[in-house]
A and B are shown apart, each in its own frame.
Chain A
Amino acid sequence: AQSVTQPDIHITVSEGASLELRCNYSYGATPYLFWYVQSPGQGLQLLLKYFSGDTLVQGIKGFEAEFKRSQSSFNLRKPSVHWSDAAEYFCAVGTMFSGGYNKLIFGAGTRLAVHP
């Protein structure tokens, strides 16, 4: 069965510092991978996704993620964090079925705090 592990529950970084959020997945075939961000009291917004092709994917808000099949990882990175990036980040693996049905399995999330 598919699963997603986000090892870090909380991360605190200083504004301007670099950021890496870890995500490991378990999936039998080539996975569809996603990163979503959730601000307090809000819904989820898609940051980026990986289906195939280039293993380094660019997303919105200056985020990028790298798919590493050998490590079953899809870590999220940002070179310089802004205070507005404080939020909860969810990694997810999707199973695509015919007709566009995508069943997402989410990790438990990583809560990011940004110090000024």
Chain B
Amino acid sequence: NAGVMQNPRHLVRRRGQEARLRCSPMKGHSHVYWYRQLPEEGLKFMVYLQKENIIDESGMPKERFSAEFPKEGPSILRIQQVVRGDSAAYFCASSPIGTGEKITGELFFGEGSRLTVL
């Protein structure tokens, strides 16, 4: 059973370009989370999505950042007009639908996409 797949693993962009990061959740998982890890810091929550719905985007910067999780295909985190401060590791995590005893609370993380803005 494949884990959470993220691509690209490394992405280099120049200031002003767009970055697109993709995340395929684990099989059977329909919840996707995006986290950002700045150098020497912990992970910061950005957004939580279910298929075709953004449920919680309280951690997303107000401008330039967007996320989607379409009915078909991976979740995408899009950063427009990147700036040097966007350089970070972006982690995707997934979890299954669950209620009651099926809820484990565990998030399964991908290996991250490391964005470098020149």
Contacts and interface: CB of A to CB of B under 8 A. Distances in A.
Interface residues of B, number: 30
Interface stretch (A14-22, A66-74, A75-83, A93-101): A93-101
B42 A100 contact: no
A39 to B, nearest CB: 10
A49 B91 contact: no
A1 to B, nearest CB: 11
Given A103-B45, A106-B35, 11 more contacts: A43-B91, A43-B110, A43-B112, A46-B107, A94-B105, A99-B97, A100-B97, A100-B99, A100-B105, A101-B31, A101-B56
Interface residues of A, number: 28
Interface of B: 4, 31, 33, 35, 41-45, 48, 55-56, 91, 93, 95-99, 102-112
B105 A109 contact: no
A19 B105 CA distance: 26
Interface of A: 4, 6, 32, 34, 36, 41-46, 49, 51, 90, 94, 96, 98-109
Contact of A42 (B98, B105, B111): B111
Q: Would you call the interface of chain A mostly helix, strand, loop, or mixed?
A: strand
A106 B107 contact: no
